[in-house]
Amino acid sequence: MSSSVTTFSWRFGGPLADLPPALAWSILGAVGIAGLVWIIVNYRRTLVTLTPRRRAALTGLRVALWLILLLALAGPTRIERTYAQKQTRPLAVVLDRSDSMTAADNRGTRRADDALRRWRALAPAAQKTFGDPKVFAFADDFTTLSSPDDTASLKTGRTRVFRSLQSTLDAAPPGGWGAVVLLTDGLDTSGEDTKAALDKSVSTALAAATPVFSLAGRNRFAGGEFLTLRDLTVPSQVPPRSQFTFELTLESFQSAARAVPVRLRVGNQWRPAELLALPAGRRAVTWSADIAAGAPGNLPLELVIGEGASAVSSRSEVRIAAPDTTRILYYQGSLDWGYRFLSDILRRDPAFALTPIFNLAPEGTPRSRTAPPGALPDLPDTAAGLDAYDVVVLANAAASQFSDAQQAALTAWVRAGGVLLFLAPDDDATHGYSGSEMERMLPVVFTGDRIENDNDAATADFRRRISQFSGGAHGGTEAAFASQAKRVRGAPALSAFAWVPEAAGLLGADTVAATPRFANFARVERAKPGATVLARHPSEKSADGSGAILLALQRYGRGQSAVLTSDALWRWKLNQPSKERGVEVFWQNLLAWLARERPRGPHFERTPLTAETGREVILRTAGGRNPRLTAQLENSPAITLPATAQPNGSRQHTWTPASPGLWLLTLTDADNRTVRHWLSVSNALPAGENSGLPPDESLLQELARRTGGSVLENTAPSAWLPAAHETGADLLREQRTPLWHGGALLAVLLALYAAELLLRRRWQLL
């Protein structure tokens, strides 16, 4: 859709037209005050004594004359600009027609009706920005509608929020959706792993620069109190004598705030109970515990939250094994001392295996034939070729050094679970990435390159769309990152970017030694929605006034990407005493911490925590040689679950449990490595039963935050208001209209001056 937007503004004209507004106002104010002082002094003493009435008349005429002169100096001008809005993309509106949205409360109100009523109030603003929306509806099926009101004949069913959102994103027109609006209560009952489905939807939305908004349908279903386990995060494998974190997210609905006991069994030992505060209303509540891993073997974990029949429990298992070597593919794109410094650090540590690619190929020069021993000739151009590595590091590499196939392979590999670290010590290292497929995967938006022709319109369009949203607001501090890195290897941690007492204390360093040295660094526009900013520059500021981004990361599909906009810190190393190991420890911790996202051996990739009888459960596993997955209920024979190979190398298992209870899922490979997972299966709820649950607004808020959208209420978001000054809008016409006509202003000025002269002559002042 192509449309125009007209804006109006007022500016100074005349001699003040080209001055900054603050300076113009200062000059105008100074001239005005000086004139008033002169007028008062001029008529305070005269040759002929004036009565107060005559003095007031002459002073009034002189003040009016002076005001006219000030108006002539200011020359207020009305500026009307008309812009052509380019690349305006349509809006997708997705209606939830599931049981919980279509069931009526005691007043006959349905959540679907409430969401539609509030959407109609927002529709005019949306139509002005995006044009006529494309409307979809979902329950068990995904359907296209002609209008939001065309829902009477639709069937209801289970809520498949993320599957339907993915279908919407996949059905986008060639330019993509400008935004997606979900009219739903967020109660996904499809049986999918919520966290995995959320991550997949977020990565797809980010790649398309499509923010997701939602309108939560509400009614007066009272609903009963409940406490359910939404998400459990625990590593499948950890090294011996290390530390890991057991994290969980609970979904709680309470009529009044209260506290419940939390008990955790590690191995055969129950820890002392802790009290977990549950606030009133529906909330997502998190809890975590640090666990020390001992000798190699399987470590069982059991969690019990609450007491009696309402208690929530979960069982899991962590394999403690000697850590595998972290395999790093290091691509060096131009000459830099950082490669020698960083490669020496990694080669001296047996926990890392470094494979270099030495491709010194700046634009316009032939590729260097000098390469380190064991180097690959070039970056693989398939995702399968990258599967032999845990982390890919791109250092000082311009986009022109990679083919389209190589960029697509990197993107697919990260989406499937790989980890990418992008090192950019200066602005040259980010050249050519703006608007590329690679930039869509990374956690920051690069400073745009100059648009040279119409073929680069997609680059400008991507920058314009993503510039509406900025991320990083929910990231941790440098000290928090140091704490996370310390957990991975048990080594002293370092905040390598801004001096903090915690870092100096860990390293035994003083303030000067712990202060980084930055000779240069790459500047980026902003962090993307959902990105976590781990470190900012201690003195340089970005456009929004916050510290310039130095280290940021984000999840992309099942993988993770990180950007370090600095050199390899070798310049800082030169300013430290030779015995200091802070920079080396930082790099070892950072790479090991990133590599933890890529487990090896047999492991579960998608495992729901709960399921219902008679409803399909989707499990996904990966790793291992000839693995076998079984499901077993206590005192019952084990059932082998068949596997279907997936394009990314993982395996999908589809299973419909027939009996309730705690099912044990066991994944064993040919090398007798075993991973176990427990799944709690309950009897299926009747249709409409979940209508008694309140909307899951915390889930909708997380989805909106990570994609750059918001949970809508009664007003349209500012992102929907046309902004003609954004990149991608062309000026069609500009018209300047002075507020005062010059001839009329001069006539009034002369008339006032003539009146003053006549009065002065009449009262014998001339």
Please state the domain count of the chain. 5
Kindly state the average pLDDT of the residues 14-35: 79
By residue count, the chain amounts to 766
**Greatest CA separation found in the chain?**
122
pLDDT attached to residue 264: 94
- pLDDT tens digits, one per residue of 569-591: 665 666 666 666 667 777 777 78
Strand partners, 590: none
Q: Say if residue 684's pLDDT is above 90.
A: no
Contact between residue 82 and residue 4 where contact means Cβ atoms under 8 Å apart: yes
**Residue 730 domain flag:** no
Contact between residue 602 and residue 619 where contact means Cβ atoms under 8 Å apart: no
- Which of residues 294, 323, 352 is at a domain's end? 323
CA 107 to chain centre: 39
pLDDT attached to residue 153: 67
Contact between residue 560 and residue 597 where contact means Cβ atoms under 8 Å apart: yes
With bands split at pLDDT 50, 70 and 90, how would you rate the model's confidence at 476? very low
**Residue 266 domain flag:** yes
The answer to whether residues 404 and 422 belong to one domain is: yes
Contact between residue 100 and residue 187 where contact means Cβ atoms under 8 Å apart: yes
Q: What percent of the chain has pLDDT over 90?
A: 9
Terminal-to-terminal C-alpha distance of the chain: 71
Instruction: Report H helices in 43-181.
Output: 52-74, 99-102, 111-130, 161-170
With bands split at pLDDT 50, 70 and 90, how would you rate the model's confidence at 255? confident
With bands split at pLDDT 50, 70 and 90, how would you rate the model's confidence at 490? very low
The answer to whether residues 474 and 609 belong to one domain is: no
Q: Say if residue 247's pLDDT is above 80.
A: yes
Q: How many helices (H) does the chain have, and how many strands (E)? A: 17, 35
pLDDT attached to residue 451: 39
The answer to whether residues 266 and 390 belong to one domain is: no
Which of 270-274, 421-425, 527-531 is most confident? 270-274
With bands split at pLDDT 50, 70 and 90, how would you rate the model's confidence at 274? very high
- pLDDT tens digits, one per residue of 310-343: 788 888 888 887 667 888 898 888 766 677 778 8
Q: Say if residue 474's pLDDT is above 50.
A: no
Distance CA 712, CA 233 (A): 30
**Residue 312 domain flag:** yes
pTM above 0.85, yes or no: no
Contacts of 506 (CB under 8 A, 6+ apart): 482, 486, 492, 493, 494
Kindly state the average pLDDT of the residues 282-295: 85
Distance CA 620, CA 652 (A): 4
Q: Say if residue 688's pLDDT is above 70.
A: no
Find the CATH number of the domain harbouring 454.
Answer: 3.40.50.880
Contacts of 310 (CB under 8 A, 6+ apart): 227
- pLDDT tens digits, one per residue of 38-61: 877 777 766 677 777 877 787 888
Distance CA 609, CA 681 (A): 9
- pLDDT tens digits, one per residue of 121-149: 888 888 888 888 999 988 878 888 888 77
**Residue 567 domain flag:** yes
Distance CA 734, CA 570 (A): 53
Distance CA 71, CA 65 (A): 10
Q: Say if residue 564's pLDDT is above 50.
A: yes
Distance CA 393, CA 414 (A): 12
The answer to whether residues 76 and 59 belong to one domain is: yes
- pLDDT tens digits, one per residue of 360-400: 654 433 344 444 555 567 888 888 888 889 899 998 888 88
**Nearest to residue 676, comparing CAs of 727, 717, 758, 619?**
619
Contact between residue 604 and residue 621 where contact means Cβ atoms under 8 Å apart: yes
Kindly state the average pLDDT of the residues 700-704: 88
- pLDDT tens digits, one per residue of 532-553: 877 777 666 666 666 778 888 8
Kindly state the average pLDDT of the residues 210-216: 89
- Which of residues 292, 323, 354 is at a domain's end? 323
What is the bridge-based pairing of β-strands 91-96 and 179-184? parallel
Q: Say if residue 466's pLDDT is above 50.
A: no
With bands split at pLDDT 50, 70 and 90, how would you rate the model's confidence at 724? very low
pLDDT attached to residue 3: 58
- Which of residues 668, 690, 712 is at a domain's end? 690
The answer to whether residues 186 and 112 belong to one domain is: yes
**Residue 195 domain flag:** yes
Look at 68-77, 327-336, 555-564, 572-581 and tell me which has the smallest mean pLDDT.
572-581
**Buried-state track 415-431, b at ≥16 Cβ within 10 A, e below 16:** bbbbbbbbbbbbeebbb
The answer to whether residues 533 and 668 belong to one domain is: no
| Burial class (CB within 10 angstroms; exposed 0-12, middle 13-18, buried 19+) of 611 | buried
- pLDDT tens digits, one per residue of 218-239: 876 655 677 888 778 887 777 7
The answer to whether residues 635 and 677 belong to one domain is: yes
pLDDT attached to residue 198: 83
Q: DSSP secondary-structure letter at 578?
A: T
pLDDT attached to residue 223: 58
The answer to whether residues 543 and 570 belong to one domain is: yes
pLDDT attached to residue 301: 92
Strand locations in 267-334 (E): 269-270, 274-278, 281-292, 297-305, 312-320, 326-332
**Residue 201 domain flag:** yes
The answer to whether residues 423 and 541 belong to one domain is: yes
- Which domain range does residue 617 map to? 600-690
Q: Say if residue 87's pLDDT is above 60.
A: no
**Residue 725 domain flag:** no
Distance CA 422, CA 445 (A): 13
Q: DSSP secondary-structure letter at 171?
A: T
Secondary element (H or E) of residue 754: helix 742-762
Q: Say if residue 112's pLDDT is above 90.
A: no
The answer to whether residues 316 and 330 belong to one domain is: no
Find the CATH number of the domain harbouring 209.
Answer: 3.40.50.410
**Residue 727 domain flag:** no
**Mean pLDDT over all residues of the chain?**
76
The answer to whether residues 563 and 630 belong to one domain is: no
Find the CATH number of the domain harbouring 669.
Answer: 2.60.40.10
What tokens appear for 446 in the block?
Answer: 């690069």
Contacts of 643 (CB under 8 A, 6+ apart): 621, 627, 629, 651, 652, 653
The answer to whether residues 278 and 337 belong to one domain is: no
Look at 101-110, 356-365, 424-433, 560-569 and tell me which has the smallest mean pLDDT.
356-365
